[in-house]
Structure 1
Amino acid sequence: MAISVCKLAFASSLCLALVGLNTTLVAQSVCLPAPRLLTTMPMGGTTGSKVEITISGENLEEADELIFSDSRITAVHKINADGQREPNKYLVSIAGDCPTDVYEARVMTRLGISSSRVFSVGRLPELVQTKPCTSLSTAMELPLNSVCNAVMSLRAVDYFVFEAKQGQRIVAECASRGIDSKLDAVLIIADASGNDLLVERRSGLLDFIAPHDGKYVIKVHEMTFGGGPAFFYRLVLRELAIGEPVVRHPSTRSVSSFSWPPTDLPDQATLTEVEPNNDHSKAQKISLPCDISGQFFPAADVDVFEFEAKKGEIWWIEVASERLGLPTDPAVLVQHVARSGTNETLTDIAELSDIPSPVRVSSNGYAYDGPPYDAGSADVLGKLEIKEDGIHRLQLSDLFGGTRNDPRNIYRLIIRKAAPDFALVSWALHMELRNGDRNALSKPIALRGGSTMAMEVVVVRRDGFDGDIDLQMTGLPEGVTAKGLKIPAGKTRGVMLISTHQDAPRSHATTNFVGSAQINGTTVTRTCRLASMAWPIPDSWSEIPSPRLLADVHVSVSGIEYAPLTIAPSQKNVVEATAGEKLTIPLVQIRRCEFSGATMQLKAFGAGFEHLPPFDVPLTADFSQATIDLAAMKTPPGDYLIGFYGSAVAKYRRQAEMVIAAQNAHQLAEQEQLALAATAAKLAEDAKAAPADLKAAADQAAEAAVSRHKSAVAAVAAAADRLKKATEIATPVDLVDIVVSEPIAIRVNPKEASAQ
C-alpha cells in the first residue's frame, strides 16, 4: 500500500519520550508543518466599524478565509485597483452588537485552519502606530479615550504624548500578554520634559491624577528591552471620574482557569468581607453555606471568618483568585475553637492550598520534561469534615501577600455542601526528545487526509465526584470522525482521537467538545475547553511557553495533503476476545512516503490497556499486528476503546503536489514547443516553394510560426525553471512526529460466556 509521492505529514503530535529511536534522530527536526497565524495589525477594532488588517505567520500558503470565533465579526479579502486580492490583507466588519471582548482569529490555508491569534473588540476609537516614536521628539500624540495599536522595536522605548487638566484622572493601560503578545510591559507617565512621575513594572496599568494643566508623556518599553513583530501591544488611554472602578482591557484566560466557575454560580457573591477582620477578635461572623467576595488588601492581609458547625457535617471550600487572572496564591486554615472563659484552645481541622494538576507537569513549569500545560491552580478546592460541634474559624490569606499591595487582588470564597461536578480541558500533545530538545508548539486541529490526531483530556473533579466521564465531539467537518477514550472512574486523564478519511474534502467547522457523566442518577454534560500555546517555541529552555485557553474548538481538513502513514485495524467492527487469552489485532499500514529506519515502536492508550508493553511494527510493510496477552494484562471482561501511537522520521516533501503540477506544465510546454517547431519548419519549406504571387504571404506565415516557436521555447524554459523551484521546495526533509492509529474497539468476553 505504499504511495510514491509523500503529499502530507502526519497528524498533530502526542507526548512521547522517543527512547526507541536510533541516535541519528537527534539531528532531526520536530513536527511537520502546521499553519500558524502569528500577528494581525491592528490587533482589534471598534464595534460597528470596519477595519483593514494585515496578517503574518508560518505556513500560511494559499491563505483564504479569515475566520473569527464570533459570527458578528466577518472578513473579506482586500481587493486592489486591478481587481486582485492583496496578499494577507483583509477588511474586517464588526457588528454594532458585538460585545467588548477578545476573540479568536484564524485563517484557512492549504494545510487547513491555522492556530489562532487574539482579536480585540472595544468601544474606543482605534489608532495605529505607523512610524517609529522612540524619542521624545518623535512622540505620537494620543487623544484621551482612545486605543493605539503598536509594535515595540528592539532595545527601544516608545513615547506618546497626551493633554490633561489639573485634577483630571487618567488611566493608561498597556494590554500585551493578555492579547498573546510576548511583551512584558513597563509603563511610565512622565512630565512634558520626559521626567518620570509614575512607573509600573508588573500590572501594565497606571492610575494617574494630573497635577497641573499641560502635556504629559507615556513611555512604554519591554521589561528586558526585547522587541520585534511578536512584541505588539494596545495602549489604552482613558479619562475616568474619581472613584470610578477601572475596567481592564479584556484578556485571554490561563489554562488553570478552566475549572472556574462552578456550574450555575451567580456573577456576584451574596456576601462581602467586612474589614477589619484580620484577627480572631475581629472575625467576621458568617453562617454556612456562604458565598463571599473580598480582597487580599492591604499587603499581608489575613481575612478571618467564624461560623458554627456540627460534628459529622461535610463542607467543600473553594477559593478563586489566581483563576481570575490575578498573581495570588490563596491558602485556607480552618480551626475548631474551644473557649473556656477568656482562653481559647485551637485545633487545626483543615489546611488547604493548591488545586493539584490532574497530570504530571514540567519540573520547573516550562522546561519540557513534561507537559507545559499546568491544569492545576494556586487556588483552593478541598474538603472540610467537622470533627466536633462548635465554633470554627477560617483564615484566608495570600501566601505571598506580603509582597503585594494591590486592591485589585480580589477573591471569591465559597463554602457549600457537596455539589459533585467536573471540569474538562484538552490540548494537542507534544513530543519530548531524548537529546534535550524541548518544543512547545501551537497545534491547530488541521487534519491531513488519512491522519489521526490525539488530544489529551484532563479533568478536575469537584466535591467528591469520582465516576466515568465519556467524551464526545460533534459538528465535525465532512469525512472526520472523533472517538473519545473515556476518563475512567477515579482517573484524571482521557484521550480524544480525531480521524479523517483519506478523501475528506477541504473544509472547516466549529465543533462541540463535551464530556458526560452520571451524577446522582442524572446525566451531566460539561463543555471541554481547548488550550494551546500562544506562540510556537521550538526550544523552551531559552523561552518560557505561554499556554492559554481558546474561545472555541475549530477543526479543519486540508483536502490537499495526506498523512505519511495511516495505521488502522483491518476490520472496522469490534475485535472480540476471551478473558485470560491472547488477542491478536491485525493492522493495515498505508505508507505515503519513505521513512528513516525499518521499524517503529508502538504503545497503547485507552483505559485498561495503557500498561501494554511496547511492540515493534515494520515501516516497510503494508500489514502488521498487535498481540495482547490479556492474562498478563489482567484485563477484566468489558468493552474497551484504545489506540496505538509511536514516532517515526518521515522524509517529508513540502508542497509535493506542486512538483506534479509543474511536471505536467513542463511536459505540455515541451509538446507545444515540438508541435510549433514542426509547424515552423513546414511553413519555412512551404515559403521556399511558394510561387511569386504567394511568396510574401508564405514568408509572413513562416516568420509568425518562428515567433510562436521562440515564445514556446521561452515557455519551456520558464516551465523548467518552475519545475526546478518546485522540486527544490519539495526536496525530502527528515521530520520526526507522532503517528497515531485509528481507534480500535475491543470486547473482552468472560470465560463462562465463551464456554457456553
Structure 2
Amino acid sequence: MLAWCPLVWPLVICSIGVCLTCDRPAWAQLPAARLDGVFPAGGKAGDTLDVTIFGGDLDDVDRLIFSHQGISAKPKLAEATPFDDGPQPIENQFVVSIANNVPPGSYEVRCQGKYGMSGPRKFIVDTQQELVEVEPNASAETATEIGDLPVVINGQLNGTADLDFYKFQGSAGQRLILTGHAYSIDSPVSLVLTLIDSQGRVLAESQRTGNRDAVVDITLPSSGTYLLRAHDLLYAGAAHFVYRIAIGNQPSIDFVFPPAGLPGSNDEYTVYGRNLPGGQLSNLTLGGRKLEQIKSRISIPADITGNLRVTDPLEPYQASLDAVEYRVASPSGRSNAALITVAQAPVVFEQSGNDTPQTAQKLTPPCEVAGQFFPQRDVDWYTLDAKADEEFWIEVFSHRLGVPTDSSLIVFAVETSESGEESLKQIAWVNSTAARNGGFEFDERSNDPVYRFQAPADGTYRFLVRDGRSSVVSDPSLVYRLSVRPAKPDFRLAITPIDSSGAVFMRKGGREAVKVVVFRQDGFNGEVKLSASGLPPGVSASDMIIGPDSHHAVFTLSAAKDAAAGTGEVKITGTATIDGQQIARTARIGQPLAIVPFAQPNNPGQGSLSARLVDRLPVVVSESEAERITLTPVEPIAFETSRGGIVKVKYQVTRDTGAGGTIAGFAFGLPAVMNVPQFNIGGDTGEIEFRFPANMTPGTYSPNIAATVQGMNYTRNPEAAEQAKTRQTRIAAILMDAQKSAQESQAAATKATADLTQANTRVSQATTAKNAATQALTAATTAQKSTEQAVATAKAKLATTPDDATATTALTVAEKNAGDAVNQLKLAAEAEKMAVAALEKAMQ
C-alpha cells in the first residue's frame, strides 16, 4: 500500500530572520469514495426514476445527496431470497424522486458510504419528457424510436467505438435545436452529434467547442424520418460516458456582448444565439447559420467583487473571475447559461478598422475594451500615451471567458525619426503563464496574457492583440476583454482536495490536506492569512500564512482520535492587508473530475486532470477507520532565522501496531527560490534541514512536508469481510437445514415407496382373493339353482308316482343336495363379502 503522510507548519521570514511555526498534518491515498458518473444524469420534475452510479471505493454506499431538497433517493431493493433477512439493496442502484416544485436547472449529486462522500456530478432537472436509450441501437436499423418532440434523450457510450442511433419524424420547415449535454454534466464524453436524412445524407454535425456543448441548429428540408447519431470524438466509451440530448425549440445562447460589466450596473447587452424569443436576424453567421440577436439589460450586483455566482461548470483557470450568469427564458424552456464577468474599469467597445498600427484605437486608462477576434485572421491594435515610469497592467480575458482562444499581447514603443517617420520597437511579447500552482489536480493556467507595463520614457505606445484560433476560423463568439488599468492589488483564492476527487475524508486521529492557490492581481505580493470554518466536531485546523512570492500552500485539517462520525462543509477565508486596508476573500472550491493517480506531489511531468469549480467541499469523519501513521514536528514549532540561514525541524513518526512502510518527504509552501529536493525520513525520529537563500523575500511563511509511505499494511473494509462471513455462516446453516430436510424427505420418500409397494401387493392379493370369492359365489349360485331345479323335478315325478320308492329316494337326495347348495351359497357370499372388505382396506 502506498500512502501520503504530511507534516505542515507556518513559517515567518523577516528581513533579518525566518520564523517557522510547525503544525501537524497527514494524509493518505487510502480508499475514498469516488463518483465517476450517474445514469440517467437527470429527469423531469415530478418523475421517479431508477439511477445507477459508477465510480470507485463505493463500499456500503447507501445514500445520494442532492443540492436541492426536493430531489431525494433511496436504495433500490431486490426481491428477498431465502438467504437474506428481507429485501436487500442492489449495489450502486437507487430510486430517485424529483418533486413537482423543483425548478428546472443544474444541480449536484454526491454519494456517501464507508469511505466518505464523493465529489459531485451534475444532475439536470428539466420540464420536457425524458427518454432512455434502448440497446442495441448501434445502427440505423436498430435506432431507438423517439416519439413526440420536444424530448430529452439519456444515453451511454458504454464501450469503445459505441455509436448510438435515434430516429424521429420531422416535418418540412420545422426548426429544431439539438443540444448535446456532456461537458455540462461532468461527463468525459466529447460528444459529436450528426443529423442524417432518410437518404443517408448528413445534414448537420456539431461537437463541443471550448466550454460549450455540441449544438445543431437545423430547419428540416422535408417531411419524413430523420436519424440522429451520437458518439465520442475519439470513439472512447465506458459506463460513465453518459450524455443528454435535448431536441426541441428551446433557445440557445452563443455569446453575449460585451462580455463584462461594472459592479452595480444594469446596462444593455446584445445577446446572440438561436431561437431567441423576439430575436431578430443579425449580420453574424456561425456554423453556416445567421445568428439572432436581442437586447437585454443585465444587472450585476454591487457586491459582486470577490464573488462567483454561477451554476454551470467553470474550469480551474476561471477560478480568479468574479462573474454572474445570464439565461434566456421562453415558453419552450430556458437557454444555456452565458457567463457575464465583472469589469475592472469602464467598458469601451472595440472600434472597427483597428487592424493596423496606423489605425490603432486610442485608449485612455483605466478602461476595458470589449472586442472580438473576428473575422478570420483579425488582429486588433491599440495605442496610449504614457509618462516615464507610469505603470499600467495590461490583461487579456478571453480563454477565461470559456472561449477556445490562445491569445498573445505584443507591446511596442513608437519611435519617430528625424524625418518624422514612425517605427515600432518591440518591448514585450506576452503569452500565457507557465506556472502550474494548483498541481495536476487543479491546473489553473489559462491562455490569457497579462503584462506589467512601465513606460521607459514619455511617449506613445501601441500594443497588438491577436489569437491563434481566429487565424483558422471565422467565429464571432471569440470575444475578449482587454483591461488597461493602474495597479489595483488584490487576490482570489481557490482550494482543492489533495490526492482525492471526493470530499475530504478524515480518519480518526488522522490529518488531511487541501491545496490552496492564491491568484495574485496587479503585483500584490503580501502575506495571506488563511483560516477555516465549518468543520465537523472533532476536526480542527490551525491558521496558516501564505508568504510573499508564494502562490500556493497546503492547508491541513486534523481529526481527534475520538472524533465522532460527522460531516461539515469547510470554508477557507484568506485575509491580507492591501494599501492599509484588510481585505478578506473566501476561497472558491475546485474538484478533480478524473481518477487521481498516486504521484509525487511536486512532479511537473504528471499530466493535468480534468477538474471544475464546485459549490462546497464536505469534510467527513469516518465512523470506524483510524489513521495508522502520523508525522508530527517536535517542539519548538516556531523558528526564526536570517536570510541565508539554516533551520532544522525535528520530527516524530507515530505508527499503529503493524503499520510499517518506508517514508519519503517533499516540501510545500515555500517560494520558488527555494529548491528543497525529495528526502528520506528514516526511523521514527529525525530532523529535516531547510536552507533559506539570501534572495528570499522577508515575511511569514507556512511550509509543510508531505510524505509518501510505501509498504504500509492496510486491511480494506474488515466490516464487510465480517458481514460476508456472517452471511456465509447463515447461508451454511440454511444449507445444512435444507440438506437435513432433504435427507428426511428422501427417507420418507423411500419409506413411502416401500409402503406403496407393500400396499400394491396387498391390493393385488386382495383383488385376487375377491375375484376367487366372486367366482365361488357365482358357482354356488349356479349350483343352488341347479339343486332347486332337481328338487322341483323330483317332486313332480313323485307326484305322478307316489308309491315309487325310487322317486321318493330321488326327492330326498335332491332336497339334501339343495340344502347343501344353500349352505355353500351362504359360505360363498360371506367369503366374497370378506374379500371385498379386505380389498377396500388394502386400497386405503
User: Which letter does structure 1 place at the counterpart of 2:718?
Assistant: A
Provide Cα deviations, 1:87-137, integer angstroms capped at 9, x if missing partner.
Answer: 530324367465733x43211111111233222344544332243322223
Residue in 2 that maps onto 1:351: 429
What are the superposed Cα offsets for residues 159-190 of structure 1, whole Å, 9 maximum, x if unpaired? 22344444444322222234222222222121
Q: Which of 412, 425, 428 is residue 335 of structure 1 equivalent to?
A: 412
> Tell me, what secondary structure is at the counterpart of 2:570?
strand
1:205 is matched with 215
Q: 1:655 aligns with which of 699, 717, 723?
A: 717
Structure 1: distance between partners of 2:484 and 2:698: 41
Cα pair distance change 1:631/1:310, threshold 3 Å: closer
Q: What does the per-residue CA deviation read over 1:14-34, in whole Å, with 9 as the maximum and x for residues that have no partner?
A: 99xxxxxxxxxxxxxx94222
Contact 1:612–1:633 (Cα < 8 Å) also in 2: no
Partner residue in 2 for 1:326: 403
Asked if the contact 1:448–1:557 (Cα under 8 Å) also holds between the matched residues in 2, the reply is yes
Which residue of structure 2 aligns with residue 414 of structure 1? 483
2:610 counterpart of 1:546: yes
Displacement, 1:449? 1.6
The one-letter code sitting in structure 2 at the alignment partner of 1:152 is L
Cα 1:250–1:521, aligned 2, differ >3 Å: closer, same or farther? closer
Maintained 8 Å contact 2:4/2:707: no
Q: Find the aligned partners of 2:344 and 2:657 in 1 and give their Cα distance.
A: 53
SS of 1:359 mapped into structure 2: coil
SS in 2 for 1:568: strand
Question: Which residue number in structure 2 is paired with residue 402 of structure 1?
Answer: 471
Q: Which amino acid aligns with 1:652?
A: Y
Are the structure 2 counterparts of residues 77 and 269 from structure 1 closer, same or farther at C-alpha, using a change threshold of 3 Å? farther
Query: Which residue matches 1:736?
Result: none
User: How many residue pairs are counted as aligned between the two chains?
Assistant: 629
User: How does the TM-score come out when normalised to structure 1?
Assistant: 0.72
Secondary structure of the residue that 1:256 maps to in structure 2?
Answer: helix
3-state DSSP of counterpart to 1:595: coil
- 573, 576, 581: which is aligned to 1:514? 573
Equivalent position SS for 2:471: helix
Deviates more, 1:638-647 or 1:232-241: 638-647
Structure 1: how far apart are the matches of 2:679 and 2:121?
Answer: 38
- Give the C-alpha shift of residue 602 in structure 1: 4.0
CA distance in 2, matches of 1:337, 1:639: 43
Q: Deviations over 1:453-500 (max 9, x none)?
A: 222322221101001112222101111122354221122221111221
CA distance in 2 between partners of 1:167 and 1:472 (Å): 60
- Residue 692 of structure 1 corresponds to none
Task: Identify the match of residue 542 of structure 2 among 475, 483, 486.
Answer: 483
- State the partner residue of 2:40: 42
Which amino acid in 2 is paired with 1:393? Answer: R
Q: Structure 2 vs 1, CA of residues 178 and 245 (structure 1 numbering), >3 Å: closer, same or farther?
A: farther
The code of the aligned residue for 1:150 comes to: G
Can you list the C-alpha shifts for 1:34-85, whole angstroms capped at 9, x where unaligned?
A: 2111221111234676654322321212213322345565444457897865
Q: Could you tell me which of 229, 241, 246 is aligned with 1:231? A: 241
For residues 519 and 556 of structure 1, what CA distance do their matches in structure 2 show? 35
State whether residues 7 and 705 of structure 2, in contact with CA within 8 Å, keep that contact through their aligned partners in structure 1.
Answer: no
Query: Following the alignment from structure 1 to structure 2, what is the Cα–Cα distance between the partners of residues 137 and 54?
Result: 28
Cα distance, 1:274 vs. partner? 3.7
1:600 matched residue in structure 2: 663
Superposed, 1:39-438 pairs within 5 Å as 39-46=37-44, 51-69=49-67, 73-77=71-75, 87=91, 88-93=93-98, 96=101, 98=103, 100-101=105-106, 103-140=107-144, 141=146, 143-153=148-158, 154-203=160-209, 204-239=214-249, 240-241=274-275, 243-244=291-292, 251-261=312-322, 265-266=342-343, 270-337=347-414, 343-359=421-437, 371=440, 373-430=442-499
Structure 2 contact 547–699 (Cα < 8 Å) conserved: no
1:303–1:451 CA distance, 2 compared to 1 (3 A): same
Question: What's the counterpart of residue 627 of structure 2?
Answer: 563
Residue 656 of structure 1, CA deviation: 2.1
Bigger drift between 334-343 and 231-240 goes to: 334-343
Task: Give secondary structure in 1 for the equivalent of 2:319.
Answer: helix
Residues 489-513 of structure 1 show CA distances to partners (whole Å, capped at 9, x for unaligned) of 1222211112212222222222212
* Letter aligned with residue 654 of structure 1: R
Q: Is the 8 A contact 1:169 1:209 kept in 2?
A: yes
The 8 Å contact of residues 548 and 700 in structure 2, kept in 1 or not, is answered as no
Counterpart in 1 of 2:762? Answer: none
CA contact (8 A) 1:9 1:33 kept: no
Gap change, CA 1:14 and 1:52, over 3 Å in 2? farther
Q: 1:388 to 1:647 in 2, by over 3 A?
A: closer
Larger Rg: 2
Q: Which residue of 2 aligns with 1:685?
A: none
On the 8 A contact 2:546/2:701 being kept in 1, the answer is no
Conserved? CA contact 1:142–1:160, under 8 Å? no
Which residue of the partner structure matches residue 747 of structure 1?
none
Shift of 1:251: 4.8
User: Structure 2: which 5+ runs fail to align?
Assistant: 9-27, 80-85, 250-273, 276-280, 282-290, 297-309, 325-340, 600-604, 742-844
Runs of 5+ in structure 1 lacking a partner?
Answer: 1-7, 16-29, 362-370, 431-440, 674-705, 712-756
Q: 1:625 to 1:517 in 2, by over 3 A?
A: same
Q: What is the alpha-carbon distance in structure 1 between the residues aligned to residue 45 and residue 463 of structure 2?
A: 45
In the aligned structure 2, how far is the partner of 1:177 from the partner of 1:134?
A: 22
Q: Does the Cα contact within 8 Å between 1:39 and 1:57 map onto a contact in 2?
A: yes
CA distance in 1: counterparts of 2:738 and 2:136, whole angstroms? 53
Q: CA deviation at 1:338?
A: 5.4
Distance 1:605 1:342, change over 3 A: closer
TM-score, normalisation: structure 2: 0.65
Q: Which digits, 9 at most, give the CA deviation of each residue in 1:507-539, with x for residues without a partner?
A: 222221232211111222223233333121659
CA distance in 1, matches of 2:493, 2:607: 27
Structure 2 CA distance for partners of 1:177 and 1:562, relative to 1, 3 Å: same
- 1:433 is matched with none
Moved more, 260-269 or 287-296: 260-269
| Distance 1:469-1:47 versus aligned 2 partners, 3 A rule | farther
CA displacement 1:278-299 (0-9 Å, x = unmatched): 2345444443222232222222
Structure 2 letter corresponding to 1:357: A
Letter matched to residue 632 of structure 2:
A
Structure 1 pair 338/170, CA: closer, same or farther in 2 (3 Å)?
Answer: farther
Q: Distance in 2 between matches of 1:54 and 1:667?
A: 30
Contact preservation (8 Å) 2:355, 2:379: yes
Q: Distance in 2 between matches of 1:535 and 1:667?
A: 39
The question of whether the paired residues in 2 share the 8 Å contact of 1:602 and 1:644 is answered with yes
Report the RMSD for the aligned CA atoms in angstroms: 4.4
Distance, in Å, in 1 between the alignment partners of 2:122 and 2:148 is: 25
